Amino acid sequence: MSAAAPALPVIVTGASSGIGLETAVGLARAGYRVVATVRDLGRTQALDDAASAAGVELDVRRLDVTDEASVAELVDGVVSAYGGLHGLVNNAGAAHLGTVELDTMDAIRAAFEVNFFGVVAMTRAAMPHLRASSGVVVSISSVGGIVGQPFNEAYCGAKFAVEGFMEGLAPVAATVGVRVVVVEPGAVASAFVANAGVDPQAMIAAAGPYGPAAAGYLARTAGAFANAQSSADAAAVVVSAVVDPATPFRVQTSAVAAGFVGIKLADLDGSAVQALTSSWVATA
């Protein structure tokens, strides 16, 4: 861990709840200046309460990562206020459940806008300032950025894209002094899945020929989230990734997540993953 936090701030996107909230508070507790961004400034009560309970101050600002003007305004405003930027935590994202035959193209594009293009836009806007400060970009991916999961085609596709984008960027960014890290949580007890707005029975009823598979998937997922990691524990890994320059490019937030990702990384022909995920949607 570094001996002292830098004077320049860290931007944390999607800080209204879950991992983003806990990361913003955790970084502030570690002595960092934190700009915590939310899409709706009318929904900051949980963040405000958490900061107050921790005895820390956050600079809370509005940001819509899918809006280039909002991204530019946020980054320019932070740099103007503080004289630069030390770090960016790309946390903002949205769950999406569906399958390609039943999804609309608009829904699939929307999943990519927030989960992938929002990450790209923020990183692009921040890079000149991170280059000036020898800073760090930490992007919250998912075990779903390594293992494609049933009824998560658009979400996993976007997270796969984040992984590939950041893996390609990392060696280039390193030549100008910027660290790039990808953090992969597994199941986390937060509002993330609830915010997907899915009614399980309605999803099954609307799934037509995919109904039995959807029922199996939802039952399996309910079990996984019953034993989910806490947002605070996952966020501690994110905070460490910002603070510790020895953090590797890819890090998981729990032993369970590491084990799950490890199946894929050792699975050259895809058969192990297909056997595993097919069992989640078995209809007999």
CATH number at residue 32: 3.40.50.720
Distance CA 268, CA 246 (A): 29
**Residue 247, pLDDT above cutoff 60:** yes
SS3 content of the chain, % helix, strand, coil (to 5): 55, 15, 35
pLDDT, one tens digit per residue, over 260-281 is 999 999 999 999 999 999 999 9
Query: For the chain, what is the domain count?
Result: 1
Polymer length in residues for the chain? 284
Could you tell me which residues come within 8 angstroms of residue 62 by beta carbon, excluding any fewer than 6 positions away?
A: 37, 38, 39, 40, 41, 70, 74
Distance CA 32, CA 40 (A): 23
Q: Which two tokens stand for residue 126?
A: 């921040």
Asked whether 22 and 242 are in contact (CB, 8 A), the reply is: no
In a domain, 219, yes or no: no
Amino acid letter, 107: A
In a domain, 84, yes or no: yes
When pLDDT is cut at 50, 70 and 90, the band that residue 222 belongs to is confident
Single pTM value for the model: 0.94
For residue 3, the model assigns a pLDDT of 53
Asked whether 74 and 39 are in contact (CB, 8 A), the reply is: no
In a domain, 33, yes or no: yes
When pLDDT is cut at 50, 70 and 90, the band that residue 174 belongs to is very high
In a domain, 203, yes or no: no
Does the annotation mark 155 as catalytic? yes
Distance CA 32, CA 13 (A): 15
For residue 2, the model assigns a pLDDT of 46
Q: Which two tokens stand for residue 97?
A: 């459940």
Annotated catalytic residue: which of 32, 155, 210, 217? 155
In a domain, 225, yes or no: no
In a domain, 115, yes or no: yes
Other C-beta atoms closer than 10 Å to the C-beta of 171 total 10
For residue 1, the model assigns a pLDDT of 42
In a domain, 206, yes or no: no
pLDDT, one tens digit per residue, over 111-143 is 999 999 999 999 999 999 999 999 999 999 999
Distance CA 129, CA 124 (A): 10
Distance CA 280, CA 106 (A): 27
Asked whether 139 and 162 are in contact (CB, 8 A), the reply is: yes
For residue 74, the model assigns a pLDDT of 98
Amino acid letter, 63: L
Domain that holds residue 123: 10-197+230-261
In a domain, 280, yes or no: no
Mean pLDDT of 35-39: 98
